[in-house]
Amino acid sequence: MHYSSLLPDVLKIADAASEKVLHVYQSDFKVRLKADQSPITAADEASHEIILNGLKSISQDIPVLSEEGADIAWGERKGWQRFWLVDPVDGTKDFTQRTGEFTVNIALIEFGEPVLGVVTAPALKEAYWGAKGEGAFKRDRTGKIHRIRVATPKEEVRVLASKNHLNPETRAFIDALGPHEMIQAGSSLKFCRIAEGHADIYPRLGPTSEWDTAAGHAILLAAGGTVNKLNGEPLTYGKEDLLNPHFVASGR
Ligand SMILES: Nc1ncnc2c1ncn2[C@@H]1O[C@H](COP(=O)(O)O)[C@@H](OP(=O)(O)O)[C@H]1O
Ligand SMILES: [Mg+2]
């Protein structure tokens, strides 16, 4: 499959969802708690609907798994060779805290590998995308599009960590890296910051779900980086348990 032929449509869908998400962000929105006690707003729901309908219209035969539509039995999912993996709003805490560091995420998974990804940050007016064999790109807040690439680390490693979920295990991993600079960022923007060469490593020795990481992972791969489990094997998708194992995302 030529992934680049899908990218313009997927970017349009993500931009449409972003516009709606930003509209809610700028309003006096209400925050509710889901059954797992994680926060949800009208932005997550509206973004989910726009993305689901958009993806169905461009690819009737590719199923969609979204954080807000994840109740699909393993018996059905296990036969999927190719599927869309979506987080309508990643960084909902950043959204509710109004830090601006939340994203809309769409990934295409093929045989467990994230082969295409689009991440938009509606409040920052940034967008990132990438596809296997096609490289990775950023649209900055002025609308200019640049090709992006991971950087070669200098002596002081630039480490990315979650703003809201930095646990003791991740902290210990970071301390063992030696001289480093800490950069905190919310949501899947952490993968994008490495993809564009602004940071070197993002260790996550704490919980995430497949939809949190897939799009950023695809972009980082396309920019020359890696996302591996602690045993050194690549992080994969379409697992029965949708919680990811611990992983380390890195540039060169
Ligand atoms: N205890 C937990 N279990 C599962 N996922 C968790 C979690 N704590 C945080 N996360 C995931 O981490 C994401 C936020 O990451 P970060 O802190 O790096 O911004 C959340 O995404 P959502 O905001 O989409 O719910 C959520 O999915
Ligand atoms: Mg998320």
User: What is the band of 141 on the pLDDT scale with cuts at 50, 70, 90?
Assistant: very high
pLDDT at position 42: 97
**Do both 139 and 204 map to the same domain?**
no
Minimal-distance CA residue to ligand 1 atom 2: 207
Instruction: Average the pLDDT over 234-250 and give the result.
Output: 98
Write down the pTM of the prediction: 0.98
Å from CA of 38 to ligand 1 middle: 8
- The domain that contains 179 carries what CATH number? 3.40.190.80
Question: What pLDDT, in 10s, does the model give residues 94-117?
Answer: 999 999 999 999 999 999 999 999
Range of the domain at 32: 3-148
- Helix segments in 59-167, DSSP class H: 74-77, 92-96
pLDDT at position 107: 98
Percentage of the chain modeled with pLDDT above 90: 95
**Do both 46 and 144 map to the same domain?**
yes
Minimal-distance CA residue to ligand 1 atom 20: 91
Q: Exposure string (b/e) for 98-127, b if CB count within 10 Å is 16 or more?
A: ebbbbbbbbbbbbeebbbbbbbbbbbeebb
**Do both 139 and 161 map to the same domain?**
no
User: What is the band of 4 on the pLDDT scale with cuts at 50, 70, 90?
Assistant: confident
**Do both 46 and 130 map to the same domain?**
yes
pLDDT at position 19: 98
**Do both 131 and 161 map to the same domain?**
no
Query: Which of 106, 166, 209 to probe ligand 1 with, by most ligand atoms within 8 A of CB?
Result: 209
Tally the domains of the chain.
Answer: 2
**Do both 230 and 116 map to the same domain?**
no
**Do both 49 and 113 map to the same domain?**
yes
Report every protein residue that has its C-beta within 5 angstroms of ion ligand 2: 87, 90, 212
Residue ranges of the binding site for Mg(2+): 67, 87, 89-90, 212
**Do both 175 and 213 map to the same domain?**
yes
Question: What pLDDT, in 10s, does the model give residues 18-51?
Answer: 999 999 999 999 999 999 899 999 999 999 999 9
**Do both 135 and 198 map to the same domain?**
no
State how beta strands 103-110 and 113-121 pair.
antiparallel
CA distances from 215 to 32, 46, 110, 153, 246 (A): 26, 19, 13, 23, 17
Please identify, among 93, 121, 148, the residue that sits at the C-terminal boundary of a domain.
148
ipTM of the complex: 0.96
Instruction: Average the pLDDT over 244-252 and give the result.
Output: 97
Instruction: Average the pLDDT over 169-178 and give the result.
Output: 96
Q: What is the DSSP letter of 16?
A: H
Tell me the C-alpha distance between 44 and 169, whole Å: 30
Instruction: Average the pLDDT over 52-75 and give the result.
Output: 97
Å from CA of 102 to ligand 2 middle: 9
What is the pLDDT of the chain when averaged over all its residues?
Answer: 97
- Helix segments in the chain, DSSP class H: 7-25, 42-58, 74-77, 92-96, 168-175, 189-195, 210-222
**Do both 25 and 42 map to the same domain?**
yes
Please identify, among 123, 148, 173, the residue that sits at the C-terminal boundary of a domain.
148
**Do both 118 and 164 map to the same domain?**
no
User: What is the band of 175 on the pLDDT scale with cuts at 50, 70, 90?
Assistant: very high
Å from CA of 236 to ligand 1 middle: 18
**Do both 165 and 220 map to the same domain?**
yes
pLDDT at position 88: 98
pLDDT at position 164: 87
Task: Return the number of other C-beta atoms located less than 10 Å from residue 53's C-beta.
Answer: 12
Which among 119, 129, 10, 110 has a CA at the least distance from the CA of 59? Answer: 10
Please identify, among 94, 123, 148, the residue that sits at the C-terminal boundary of a domain.
148
Å from CA of 209 to ligand 1 middle: 7
Residues with CB under 6 A from ligand 1: 38, 67, 87, 90-93, 162, 164-165, 186-187, 207-209, 212
